[in-house]
Amino acid sequence: MNLHLRTLTLSDVEAVANLSSQLGYKASMAETKVWLQEILANKDHCTYGAVLDDKLIGWVHGFYTLHLESGAFVEIGGLVVDENCRRTGAGRKLVEQVRGWARQKGVGKVRVRCNTQRTDSHTFYKAIGFEEVKEQKVFSILC
């Protein structure tokens, strides 16, 4: 098994979209390309891919954020490992890469939000050291 991490590039769009669909996200490749371009151009965002035998099997997106009430932290905006490649250490390595990026930015905290229905993800995050601090509801409105 030859697993390594690297920064995502625009050539990863199809694999990123396909992996995202495993979590139920239905973004087109065109949408994914636009979003990835914007993220790659933003110094307050990072993206990494897990590659196994020359195939992208997972990705993570982290971003720096600053809140008036709680200060700065890096949030994991998305993390997915191919359902056939889970339990290979890829998810843990991707999270560690984001933690390292956060430290480089001088930030001492990483957060992640997780759908309440993804109980396997909850177990994963707790197993690698995350502490559950609250539950939330997410509201959205079109502009």
Burial class of 132 by CB neighbour count within 10 A (0 to 12, 13 to 18, 19+): exposed
Which tokens go with 81?
């490992």
Tell me which of 67-71, 103-107, 114-118, 125-129 is least confident. Answer: 114-118
Structure confidence at residue 1 as a pLDDT band (50, 70, 90)? low
pTM: 0.94
Structure confidence at residue 58 as a pLDDT band (50, 70, 90)? very high
Does residue 102 register a pLDDT over 80? yes
Q: What pLDDT sits at residue 107?
A: 97
